[in-house]
Amino acid sequence: MSITADVVDTVLGLRREVAGLHRHLTDYGLVVWTAGNVSARVPGHDLLVIKPSGVAYDDLTPENMVVCDLDGRVVEGEHAPSSDTEAQAYVYRHLPHVGGVVHTHSTFATAWAARGEPVPCVLTMCADEFGGEIPVGPFAIIGDDSIGRGIVETLRGSRSPAVLMRNHGVFTVGPTARAAVKAAVMCEDVARTVHHARALGTPVPIEQSAVDALFDRYQNVYGQR
Ligand SMILES: O=C(CO)[C@@H](O)[C@@H](O)COP(=O)(O)O
């Protein structure tokens, strides 16, 4: 597959967007070294734009982003794509509403993943963004589409845009790559706060009707429409 003339400008814009979004991973302390990545779907085309594997965040540029097809094959780019390209390509193939995917090993959320324990919905911000608990997905070793399959199977059963892959880390999705980055930022914040709440006592669950109302308001009313 090659990049046709009608999609060149779209890809250039996504190269800039995806390269730029990685600074939020470092700004919010969600990654160490190169251990995280962002990708975006190319709307209307079986293509994605993703970070090059193992490249320092300070060295990421629109030019060194990698364009792949949704089987994970490189279509345009001089670098090897992220280790998570196959997993994220699987997500794009099976969740058509997803426009962006993020992967981190952010500390508090990954500590919940290490225990295989979902983050309970005991904060209004968790209800707002995740619509309930932040679920745990199965342990899966990187290298084929088993991580992607675990992400999809888990997210299909949840309103959450985040999944804690057991013993590994965080994957988030969104209608855009920026929305997926936001979900990763809020996932870590909620995981940290609930961790501290648990250390001090027993957090109080929020009634499901309140969770539903909070989620609906935040998803459909909050902010500038
Ligand atoms: O989680 C892992 C490896 O276990 C990778 O996602 C992480 O190191 C980031 O790899 P990339 O630099 O995106 O290839």
Condensed to tens digits (0 to 9), the pLDDT of residues 95-115 reads 999 999 999 999 999 999 999
CA distance 119 to 107: 13
Q: Name all residues whose Cβ lies below 6 A of ligand 1.
A: 34-37, 51, 53-54, 82-84, 103, 142
With the most atoms of ligand 1 within 8 angstroms of its CB, the residue from 22, 37, 50 to mutate is 37
Structure tokens at 217: 């308001």
pLDDT confidence bin for 1, thresholds 50/70/90: low
Per DSSP, the three-state class of 45 is coil
- The CA distances from residue 86 to 92, 212, 221, in Å, are 10, 33, 35
**Using one digit for the tens of pLDDT, what is the confidence trace for 118-135?**
999 999 999 999 999 999
Q: How would CATH label the architecture of 5-220?
A: 3-Layer(aba) Sandwich (3.40)
Q: What count of other Cβ atoms lies within 10 Å of the Cβ of residue 143?
A: 10
> Hey, is 50 helix, strand or coil?
strand
Pairing relationship of beta strands 136-137 and 47-50 according to DSSP bridges = unpaired
User: Whole-model pTM?
Assistant: 0.97
Strands of 162-165's sheet in order across: 74-76, 66-69, 47-50, 37-42, 100-104, 169-174, 162-165, 136-137
Known catalytic residue at 28: no
> Which ligand 1 atom sits closest to the C-alpha of 80?
14
The CA 83 to ligand 1 mean position distance, Å, reads: 5
* Residue spans per domain, the chain: 5-220
Q: Closest by alpha carbon to 7, among 69, 71, 53? A: 69
pLDDT score at 4? 79
ipTM value greater than 0.90:
yes
